[in-house]
Chains A and B, each alone.
Chain A
Amino acid sequence: MKGYINKIIENSFIDGPGNRMAIFLQGCNMGCLYCHNPETQRMCINCGRCLEVCSQGALSIKEGKINYNKQKCIGCDRCLEVCSEFSSPKYFEMQSDELVKIILDNEIFLDGITFSGGECTLQTDFIVDVVEKVKQKSNLTAFIDTNGLINENDLNRLISCVDGFMMDVKAIDDNTHRFLTGVSNETVLKNLKLLAKTDLLYEVRYVLVEGYNDSVEQVKYLAELIKNLNDYTRLVLIPFRPLGVKTYFKNLPLYNRQKYDIIYDEIYKVLKDRAIKKD
């Protein structure tokens, strides 16, 4: 079975417990205004705009399809900047067996693997295939980094084969969620509650965007919700960064640290050590 992969980070300390290989899958079902890797959102439509800006000849088109030559690429990312489709000419197809081999070759270094994206659960078949094969041959754990917008069937299949979920909640207020992401948070909150009742909801992540979703009341509501749902899920509070952002949100400044600390202190009161601070 093949998957569409944007990139693989062999050594990640920020995608779940311990040292993990993070596999970023291509494609997303939200369109967040502050997305910091917007090139993972959509599939390539082979429009060819990126060809014009590649100074290294790393991109070419053959039979209407963009080809990417990694050896020639110098990583200037001009191709990503000009892509109006929120895609990338660099993502690639990979067979699950090939990915499984890369993972198992590095097994002794890893605590596990994490699928991220994009919204990785859009490729649930691929994930399940890889995870089942990895687990047959190792004790590595598998985590899912998701925006929570997962259909019931996929979610149930993932619950039965992975070891943890890290879920973003973009906003508590539905209108704010629709504004920031383009979709309602109804399914997200439903899935949050469902996952919280399993022992798999490792952490919830919340990005503070000044003036949009950062009222103390909203964030505290989320903290209370998590507190009441179970006794283990962590809430990671992340300050907005303009790095990589493609929409007009790129002009927003880095989230105010003082304000961050005030909000963090509020959620700390609710969740204690389950409230996690980010630099």
Chain B
Amino acid sequence: MNVFEIISNTNIDYKEKRHLLALAAENTLSYVNLSVKTEKHLKKGILCDIFEGHAPYRPRYILPDYEKYIKNGSEYLGIKPPKDMYEVVNALMVIYQYVPSITGYPVYVGQLDYILENFLDTVSEGEARNLIKMLLINIEKTLPDAFVHMNIGPKETRAGRIILEIERELKKAVPNISLKYSKEETPLDFAKFAAEVALEIGKPYFVNHEEIKNLLGENYGIASCYNTLKIGGGSYTLVRLNLKKASQEAKDYRDFIDNVLPNVVDSLCEVINARAKFIVEEAKFFETSFLAKEGLIDINNFTSMAGIFGLYECIETLKGLKLGHDEEALKYGEEILDKIKEVIDSNEGYGCFGTDGKIGFHAQSGIDSDIDVTAGVRIKIGNEPSIYNQIKTEGRLHKYFNTGVSDIYVFDKTARQNVDGVMKIIDAAMKSGIKVFALNTSDSELIRITGYLVKRSDIEKYNRGEVLREDTVKLGAESIKNNKTLDRRVREVE
């Protein structure tokens, strides 16, 4: 869209227009410096920066250390350390307005159960509940973007339970929620309650706490879709590689592994590093952000993310095999991921201090305009094998990714009557190496698109041309059209 088209568009509201106009202004600058070869890959769509803009001036994902903020307050914001439940809720609502991201909304709103738990006893039980409800409504109204992500767990807290209870009552797409789940630390009863809520409203995610902890340490958060990053850090950028398109460049499988992949993954790293460097050195983000000055973020916790998607089609194109249905296909999948990881790790990741100097590896979940290409390392929608085979296949693929990978498992409504059975599958998935497990039911009003939720009724409104508050509804509605999201295999029970 050009500037006039943005201004005169009747399908988007003022805020979204302002956001698009800012992007249009940014894009009047030339793209960060790249080699000719890499520019070609971007033009061809083999690489894609997911509309981050030509001249990035803030990291894509930021996970402020909210616990530190609550402990110390903020000089910049003029917020003193909160003393009671009123002050902590207010302090949180204030800082969210100041956290930059690509969407303009914070992609991480914190480990809210642990933060709020410390203040719960400063007010009566009823007041605490009302204040948490007010906070959740405020987040939904002022940050209307389904990538806004809240974390709870692994330990049970009263605040965590209240959050789930209220979310179940509100039934809104925002915020996205993750439960850090650990069989050792999360009481079964709390996990079962969370699963019950997820079967009703599509959230929380179940995040494999033990696995992620081993990769990033205890101090990590889940932001945006399902990106696992260090708290007090984040990711400068996410650039993704379309494996389907890349596979079409190869003469055969060997050529793909030996020549095409090293070439395009090098380019992927080049774009990522150029963008990260621009943020740090040209936009001087860390020199200007109060988050950095007050120690709520630290460059030492940052990284960048190299995303891939379309592994399913890549294997299909090169070998004619179907991932999830052929053991051989899985072996090729592993070989491809091994190779990508090897090339990524052979490059220095600019400013990637949070992941040992290497760029983080991410299974990207697709965007609304992707057509006929499957998200991340998932199995093509509609072609999923039995749930056990799906989990066993994907479990072996999830091991490669340190900054986010997930899949969505859709059950029919009988699952609601048997949460023990659902927990058995979640536990088995965790054991099989699944890092982030999203569950949904086929009749749910909230639909998980790729990594975020959208209300069914909002999609109908969007399709009728109504202007909507939530920016992610448009993405969801287009994704449903282009990616057959609603055709995901339902685990039906007769």
Contact = CB atoms under 8 A, between A and B. Distances in A.
B433 to A, nearest CB: 12
A111 B414 contact: no
Interface in A88-123: 105-106, 108-111
B487 to A, nearest CB: 16
A14 interface: yes
B388 A11 contact: yes
Nearest to B491: A11
Contact of A108 (B414, B422, B428): B428
A110 B494 CA distance: 18
Contacts of A109: 387-388, 391, 424-425, 428
B418 to A, nearest CB: 4
Interface size class of A (residues with CB under 8 A): 10 to 19
Interface in B385-444: 386-388, 391, 411, 413-415, 417-418, 420-422, 424-425, 428, 431-432
A279 interface: yes
Contacts of B491: 11
Counting chain B CB atoms within 10 Å of each CB, which of A11, A20, A105 scores highest? Answer: A11
A48 interface: no
Contacts of A20: 421
Given A9-B494, A109-B424, A111-B424, A14 B417 contact: yes
A19 B425 contact: yes
B467 to A, nearest CB: 37
A156 B414 CA distance: 32
Contact of A11 (B417, B420, B425): B425
A37 B421 CA distance: 24
B418 A110 contact: no
B414 A13 contact: yes
A10 B418 contact: no
Decide if the interface of chain A is mainly helix, strand, loop or mixed: loop
A19 B421 contact: yes
Interface string B97-113: 00000000000000000
A86 B417 CA distance: 31
A57 interface: no
A12 interface: yes
B36 interface: no
Contact of B493 (A12, A17, A106, A110): A12
Interface residues of B, number: 21
Contacts, number: 56
Contacts of B388: 10-11, 105-106, 109
A18 interface: yes
B428 A13 contact: no
Contact of B386 (A10, A13, A14, A19): A10
Contact of A13 (B417, B431, B432): B417
Contacts of A14: 414, 417-418, 493
Counting chain A CB atoms within 10 Å of each CB, which of B414, B417, B420, B421 scores highest? Answer: B421
Contacts of A110: 424
A18 B421 contact: yes
Nearest to B418: A13
Given A108-B428, A108-B431, A108-B432, A13 B422 contact: yes
A117 to B, nearest CB: 13
Nearest to A19: B421
Contacts of A17: 418, 420-421
A279 B413 contact: yes
Interface in A1-30: 9-14, 17-20
Given A17-B420, A20-B421, A10 B387 contact: yes
A13 B425 CA distance: 11
A23 to B, nearest CB: 13
Contacts of A10: 386-388
A13 B415 contact: yes
Nearest to B420: A18
Nearest to A7: B494
Contacts of B391: 109
A13 B493 contact: yes
Contacts of B386: 10-11
Contacts of A279: 413
B387 A11 contact: yes
A18 B422 CA distance: 7
Interface in B161-175: none
A38 to B, nearest CB: 13
A154 B333 CA distance: 49
Contacts of B494: 9, 37
A10 B494 CA distance: 11
A13 B424 CA distance: 11
Contacts of B387: 10-11, 109
B424 A19 contact: yes
A108 B431 CA distance: 8
A14 B414 CA distance: 7
B352 to A, nearest CB: 35
Nearest to A36: B494
Interface in B336-394: 386-388, 391
A232 B363 CA distance: 48
A20 B420 CA distance: 11
A13 B412 CA distance: 10
A111 B391 CA distance: 17
Contacts of B425: 11, 19, 109
Given A19-B418, A19-B420, A109-B387, 12 more contacts: A10-B386, A11-B491, A12-B421, A13-B414, A14-B493, A19-B422, A20-B421, A37-B494, A105-B388, A106-B388, A108-B428, A279-B413
Q: Which 8 A-B pairs have the closest CB atoms?
A: A19-B421, A13-B418, A19-B424, A109-B428, A108-B428, A13-B421, A106-B388, A18-B421
10 contacts: A10-B388, A14-B418, A17-B421, A18-B421, A19-B420, A19-B425, A108-B428, A108-B431, A108-B432, A109-B428
